[in-house]
Amino acid sequence: MSITQPATIPSPPAGQQLATVPMRFEVTPVPVTDFDRAKAFYQQLGWQLDIDHQFTEQVRAVQLTPPGSSASIQFRPAGAERLQRLLLIVSDIEAARTELIDRGIAVSDIFHALPGEAPQPGRDPDGRSYVSHATFADPDGNQWVLQEVNERIPGRVQ
């Protein structure tokens, strides 16, 4: 019988030279083929519409923010690329998944996996942070990952 040691998440190195000028990550551009379809999808998620403004015939700004987040997404015209593994941190993955399903969003089953290991069905039986996930995609194939986090990496800003 083997004993599995609990996974530990390393802290940032002591003495790390951190920047002194505050820099806030606020917006991620998300590639979409149809701004109106994408806007409807993200509003269906329950995200706040911050702006929808047509600056010129060719330039439209659409920005939405997930509930509880200080970072937003802005639409940009899509090329061939799609974004993968955009993380949405939740404190209760089951509640978050249920709410999205109730809003009509197709969400994967919950699974758990430590880095480098194959995913296993269901929520992490030990309830560890960063281990339980579920995924969904927008109409353009940009993939979002719900990740359950209740205890942050030491030194990580809440």
Range of the domain at 56: 27-148
pLDDT, residue 96, reads 98
pLDDT at 7: 54
- The pTM of the full predicted model, rounded to 2 decimals, is 0.86
Decide if 2 is inside a domain. Answer: no
- Has residue 14 been placed in a domain? no
Q: Is residue 18 part of a domain?
A: no
Evaluate whether 8 touches 128 at the Cβ level (below 8 Å).
Answer: no
Per the DSSP assignment, residues forming a β-bridge with 137 are 143
**Predicted pLDDT of residue 70:** 94
Per-residue model confidence (pLDDT) at position 157 = 62
Residue 13 lies in a domain: no
Residue 42 lies in a domain: yes
Run of H or E including 40: helix 35-44
* Residue 140, domain member (yes or no): yes
* CATH code where residue 114 lies: 3.10.180.10
Q: What is the count of structural domains for the chain? A: 1
132 domain-assigned: yes
Q: pLDDT tens per residue, the chain (158 residues)?
A: 444 445 555 666 667 787 889 899 999 999 999 999 999 999 999 999 999 999 999 999 999 999 999 999 999 999 889 999 999 999 999 999 999 999 999 999 999 999 899 999 999 999 999 999 999 999 999 999 999 999 887 766 65
